[in-house]
Amino acid sequence: MRTFIAVDLSEGIRAKIKDIQQHFFDLGIVENVKLKFVNPRQAHQTVKFLGDVPKDRVEGVKRALEGISQKPFDIVLKGVGFFPEASPEKVRNIRVVWVGMEKGVEELKALQREVESKMHALGFPLEKRFSSHVTLFRVKKGSRAGSSDEIGRLLKKIAELREVEVGEMRVDELKLKHSTLTPKGPIYEDVYVKRLEEQE
């Protein structure tokens, strides 16, 4: 099973993400620049991507997640940015456009480190780098696929939304998810839900 561990976003934040995506859709560059939007109803913060996990290993992953000790915490999502990061005058290739996190970054990193440690103990490779962001869309062929005018409009819109308020939510669940790839995009299914609990 193609599997990953994630924090699902609230319905309010997902609605706001849909609104932000519409700003980019309205630019009229989707086809030429090959923008591939994430389904806002499935928007999430990935904590750990595990890859294809045999069914006989899934139970071990569940048991490891059951031992997570991170307490619930609040996050605030704010601002639009892109990868690879660069100043506008040095942009060569845009791959991913995302919403960033203003509050809860350290708590999320602590959760990710705990998950990383437990998964590494099960034989999963360590992540090279963790980034707290929620993907809005991917540029399938890189920004070189469009004209300089189209890329300029894309960068201008990103700049306009750099400080946009996206929303606040409580993180009190961690989910193990199964992803099925389809021509219309991935379909996610919850395999296991770990409730984060206040420590006594």
pLDDT at 128: 84
pTM: 0.89
The answer to whether residues 40 and 103 touch, using CB atoms and an 8 Å cutoff, is: no
Residues carrying an active site annotation: 44, 133
Mean pLDDT for all residues in the chain: 91
Residue in the block written with tokens 């606040």: 168
- Helices (H), ranges, the chain: 11-25, 30-33, 55-66, 105-121, 148-160
The contacts of residue 145 (CB under 8 Å, 6+ apart) are 32, 33, 34, 139
pLDDT of residue 119 exceeding 60, the answer is: yes
User: Can you list the domains of the chain with their CATH numbers?
Assistant: 2-195 (3.90.1140.10)
Angle at 41 (CA atoms; ends 183, 46), nearest 5 degrees: 85
| 76-85, 87-96, 128-137, 163-172 — most confident range | 163-172
Phi-psi group of 179: left, alpha or beta (phi > 0 → left; psi -120 to 50 → alpha; rest → beta): beta
pLDDT in tens, 133-148: 999 999 876 555 556 7
